[in-house]
Structure formats: structure tokens, C-alpha cells
Amino acid sequence: MGNDLQKVLLTEDEILARIQEMATDIWRDYEGKDLLLVGVLKGAILVMADLMRALPGTAPMDWMAISSYGSGTKSSGVVRIIKDLDTDITDRHVLIVEDIIDSGLTLSWLIKNLESRQPASLSVCTLLRKPDAVTVDVPVRYVGFDIPNEFVVGYGLDYAERYRDLPFIGTLDPAVYS
Ligand code: IMP
Ligand code: MG
């Protein structure tokens, strides 16, 4: 596991099994609708890859890259678009695919931004959710796992661009970032 990680929080098998369940739920709700999956770079790349393959049918994807200004590791909710969608989402059913929601500030900005483009509907799917996210008014329709308030890496999630390639999700030893 390496010395930087404290423990494995979710194994690869647990992650993939839960994504399969979420894909079944999503297809039940969207089958026959013009669904567009919108991923948020870069953390959501692995969630998107496994979720779209787990869906019982085909749905196109698009991506946004955003950066949130903040001091240190906390996001401020002040967001800048680095890469916008290629697609016009007007009248389409948009499902935002996220890796993790912490404060929820980035996501609430993104929801306001996408709502202004008049999609037919807008919902959120996230693999992980931390406790603070529950206190913010962000409607999240599909949640993989509610996790404790610890910094996690792996399965797309990074610390300083490292650990994204781990197939599981683990907690980082606080000594690494303190
Ligand atoms: P929020 O605006 O605080 O909800 O920020 C969410 C973003 O912060 C996520 O999309 C991640 O990029 C990053 N993030 C939050 N918590 C973690 C974590 O535990 N590990 C890795 N990245 C995290
Ligand atoms: Mg992210």
C-alpha cells in the first residue's frame, strides 16, 4: 500500500459493486430520455469510465474543467471555468458525475451555471460525499458512499496530482500534508 496511506476505506470490488447499483438506478430513472453525462475533470474520470460502462444502455458524455479559488485545501465557492462543455445542454437531461463532494461550494456554483442554460433537468451523481456536504443545500440524487471527514485518495482522487491511479480509495496519512 505504500507508507503514505493510513488505510483502505473502499476496495476496488466495493467501489465497482456500488457503481453497478447506481447505474441500475440511473437507467431506471432516465431510460428513453435524452441523457447527457457531464463529468468534472479530473477527479471524476474513473467514476465516469466505470459508470458509463455499467449503464444498461448508451449515454453520451461531456466534460467541464473548473478551478475553485481558495486558501490551501478548502474551496471558496469562487469558481473559474477552465474548459466549458462542447455541447449545448438546452432541453437535455443532464446528470453531473462527480467524484466527491466536500463543502459542496464548487458543485452549487456549477449547478447555478448549468441551470442558466435551461436543461430539461439537472441532477447530480457522486461516488463520495463528506459530512459537510449535507449541510449545504445541494440536491444530490445519487450518492455512492457517505464517508467520514478525512482526506482520501485513489480511484481518480489526488493529492498534489498523485495517487489517482490507485484502484481503491484510501485515507492519506495526515503527515503527508501537514
Ligand atoms: P467542495 O467545493 O469543497 O465540495 O470541493 C470538492 C472538490 O474538492 C472535489 O471535486 C475534489 O476535487 C476536492 N476534494 C475534496 N475532498 C477531497 C479528498 O478527500 N480527496 C481528494 N480531493 C478532494
Ligand atoms: Mg472534483
Q: What is the pLDDT of residues 51-65, one digit of tens each?
A: 999 999 999 999 999
What distance in angstroms lies between residue 99's CA and the mean position of ligand 2's atoms? 6
Whether 48 shows a pLDDT value over 60: the answer reads yes
The Å distance, Cα 129 to ligand 1 centre, comes to 9
Which ligand is nearest to the Cα of residue 163, counting in written order? Answer: 1
Please provide the average confidence, as pLDDT, over all residues in the chain.
92
Whether residue 161 has pLDDT greater than 60: yes
Indicate if 102 belongs to the active site: yes
pLDDT in tens, 63-102: 999 987 655 556 666 788 999 999 999 999 999 999 999 9
Nine-digit cell string for 108: 452549487
Confidence (pLDDT) at 156: 97
Residue carrying C-alpha cell 471555468: 81
Tell me the best of 46, 47, 68, 100 to mutate to test the pocket of ligand 1, counting ligand atoms within 8 Å of each CB and taking the most. Answer: 100
Residue 157 Cα: closest atom of ligand 1: 21
- Split at pLDDT 50, 70, 90, the class of 122 is very high
Of residues 25, 91, 102, 158, which has the active-site annotation?
102
8 Å CB contact between 116 and 86: no
CA-closest residue to ligand 1 atom 15: 102
Would the CB of 79 count as within 6 Å of ligand 1?
no
Q: Are 173 and 6 in contact (CB under 8 A)?
A: yes
Distance of CA 32 from the midpoint of ligand 1 (Å)? 33
Q: Which of 28-32, 47-51, 72-76 has the lowest mean pLDDT?
A: 72-76
User: Is the CB of 44 within 6 Å of ligand 1?
Assistant: no
Query: Which of 157, 135, 138 has the alpha carbon at shortest distance from 10?
Result: 157
